[in-house]
Amino acid sequence: MRVLLANKFFYDHGGPEAVLFLTRDLLQARGHDVIDFSMQDARNRPSPYAAYFSPNVDLQSVRPTPSSLMTALRFLDSREAASRLRKLVRDHRPDIAHLHSINHQLTPSIIRVLRDEGVPAVMTLHDYKLVCPAYTMLARGRVCESCGGGRYYRAVTSSCRGPVRSALLAAESYLQHDVLRSYRGISLFLSPSRFLADKFRQMGFKHPIDVLPNPTTAQAHAGDSAAPRDPHVLFVGRAVPEKGLRTLCAAAVTSGVRVKVAGDGPQLSELTAEFGAQHNIDFLGRLDPARAQQLMRQATAVAVPSEWYENQPMVILEAFANGTPVIASAIGGNAELVTEGETGLLYPPGDVDALAAKLRWALDHGDGMARMGQRARTFAAAFSPDSYYERLFAIYGHVLDASARASSAPPRAAVTGSRR
């Protein structure tokens, strides 16, 4: 099978790229031809298809000012990306396309190319972009569902990304959903979590969605989950407000529990200035994946204090694979993975006192946490790369079969009779 994989970044940028490259490796290891399509960047991994990649587009270079609106329009629908992909498809004729994150750099223009060229496509939903112009379903630091039902203008009235940028984002959503109807070119959307799929439907998303959890790339550690752990809780992730790191730091101060923070991000300097003097909070900076995995195996628990609708946090599955239970906020896809008292502990998002109590309980009940860690490792085994591949390959087959049946069906007029 010849599979085209499209994603706006072709280097290790975040969660979508981790899934992209794992999918690529799994397909190639089983003898499938993988055709890459992405954006040019000096950080890209090697690809035999790099010459087809769309020119680099830097979102940070566009300022939300009226004078830059014409430049910003290319982020709404890219003719250049469409042209490059059309040539790639005609030169290499993929059987199916699998899209990941494409908005703003590649844009949904490439979906219409695939539709016009007769290439069936599936798309993994890594965020809320298709129901929330601003991606995150957050406005002013709070969960926001006001754009549900296609009311994208509310991004402007709430000014969730500033007046000009919010207007552009709303315009993009109306353009792609209602004018160009680009997403009709996707045969099936894939959601890593049941929560995200349900939330999309609640927000008025009408396209077909199937749930396909992302795999964990963490290798289950062969050590003993019941072995004594260091008495601390670990955070691994980006320092951005929606990840709830401020709540975790405040809870560490309240509880006296040692917390280690591995990661960087725009909020890190602010939090370091505010909490860096605390004797029980260690800011470690960004660590390589192997070191982060090692720290997971040493910690009593991993904290995931998110304050937005997480999809399927990979850090939870990575902790589980290492036999470490998770203390998580009960929001989004977190509660789909963490079961209270079985694989970890849950608390209401943003509640400092409740989180402090969970931190204290975890350190006071090491044996109970160790038993949760053992169950967590067993749970993580269901998210193996092999299981993911088997389900994904079956989905590809169903989509290709449906496409073949549709292409061989007689025209509608021949079936129903033409009207006079």
DSSP 51-107: GGSBPP--GGG--SSGGGHHHHGGGTS-HHHHHHHHHHHHHH--SEEEE-S-TTTT-
Mean pLDDT for 44-50 is: 98
Closest CA to 271 of 255, 289, 254, 285: 285
User: What does 148-170 look like in DSSP terms, one character per residue?
Assistant: GGG-TTHHHHTTTT-HHHHHHHH
Mean pLDDT for 52-57 is: 92
- Tell me how far apart the alpha carbons of residues 261 and 303 are, in angstroms, rounded to a whole number: 10
- Tell me how far apart the alpha carbons of residues 321 and 373 are, in angstroms, rounded to a whole number: 9
Mean pLDDT of the chain: 91
Read off the pLDDT of residues 96-124 as tens digits, 9 standing for 90 and up. Answer: 999 999 998 999 999 999 999 999 999 99
Give the model's pLDDT for residue 413. 40
Share of the chain above pLDDT 90, in %: 81
Q: Judge whether 322 and 329 are in contact, CB under 8 Å.
A: no
Give the model's pLDDT for residue 71. 56
| Span(s) in the chain for CATH 3.40.50.2000 | 2-215+386-415, 230-382
Q: Please give the angle made by the CA atoms of 13, 17 and 23, to the nearest 5 degrees.
A: 160
- Tell me how far apart the alpha carbons of residues 193 and 15 are, in angstroms, rounded to a whole number: 14
Q: Residue 62: pLDDT band by 50, 70, 90 thresholds?
A: low
Domain 2-215+386-415 belongs in CATH node 3.40.228.10: no
Contacts of 302 (CB under 8 A, 6+ apart): 233, 234, 235, 236, 296, 315, 316, 319, 324, 325, 326, 327
Q: Tell the residue number behind the tokens 């496409």, with chain if given.
A: 403
Position 344, amino acid: G
Q: Judge whether 351 and 181 are in contact, CB under 8 Å.
A: no
Give the model's pLDDT for residue 65. 54
Q: CA 363 → CA 48, 205, 237, 257, 392, distances in Å?
A: 51, 43, 22, 8, 40
Closest CA to 368 of 404, 325, 320: 325
Q: Judge whether 415 and 406 are in contact, CB under 8 Å.
A: no
CATH number corresponding to 230-382:
3.40.50.2000
Tokens of 371: 């038993």
- Tell me how far apart the alpha carbons of residues 180 and 315 are, in angstroms, rounded to a whole number: 37
Phi then psi for residue 277, to 5 deg, are: -80, -10
149/61: higher pLDDT: 149
Give the model's pLDDT for residue 140. 84
Read off the pLDDT of residues 212-232 as tens digits, 9 standing for 90 and up. Answer: 999 987 765 545 555 678 999
- Tell me how far apart the alpha carbons of residues 352 and 360 are, in angstroms, rounded to a whole number: 12
191/218: higher pLDDT: 191
Mean pLDDT for 306-323 is: 95
Give the model's pLDDT for residue 226. 55
Mean pLDDT for 269-284 is: 94
Tokens of 294: 């090692």
Mean pLDDT for 381-385 is: 93
Prediction pTM value: 0.89
Mean pLDDT for 74-95 is: 94
Give the model's pLDDT for residue 57. 79
